[in-house]
Amino acid sequence: MSKTLFERIAAKEIPANLVYEDEHVIAFRDLHPQAPTHILIVPRKPIPRIAEATPADHAMLGHLLLKAAEVAKQAGLTHGYRLVINNGPDGGESVPHLHCHILGGRAMSWPPG
């Protein structure tokens, strides 16, 4: 099976504007931002989508969310931000590798779409 786009970015086979990385996750700026600040935080482990995560992924999922908050703070999003996880085609998923969007730098509206 071929690597996902995000696996290739994590392996540094494809360049990205990295803002954070550790042994479990990598965070980088989105190429097509939907807000003034739009960062993707991606687990290195290839999980296609949140619906396919298992109990074995419990610690990594917690790490992903805690690091998302840390990355948002480092990005200066002091007035708030939105975390988005898309699941499946109807949820807006475009890359079949679990990832969290950190969106901020402007007021967010509701409903989102």
Tell me the per-residue pLDDT of 34-75, one tens digit each, with 9 for 90 and over: 999 999 999 999 999 999 999 999 999 999 999 999 999 999
Q: Is there a domain that residue 67 lies in?
A: yes
pLDDT at 1: 66
Could you tell me if residue 110 is inside a domain?
no
Distance (Å, whole) CA 10 – CA 94: 17
CB environment 39-63: b (16+ within 10 A), e (fewer) = bbbbbbbebebbeebeeebeebbeb
Number of separate domains in the chain = 1
Which residue in this structure is represented by tokens 């988005």?
Answer: 84
pLDDT at 64: 98
Query: Which domain range does residue 86 map to?
Result: 5-104
For residue 109, being part of any structural domain is answered with no
Whichever domain contains 16, its CATH number is 3.30.428.10
| Active site positions, annotated | 99
| Domain contains 78 | yes
Q: Is residue 92 part of a domain?
A: yes
Q: Which two tokens stand for residue 11?
A: 């392996």
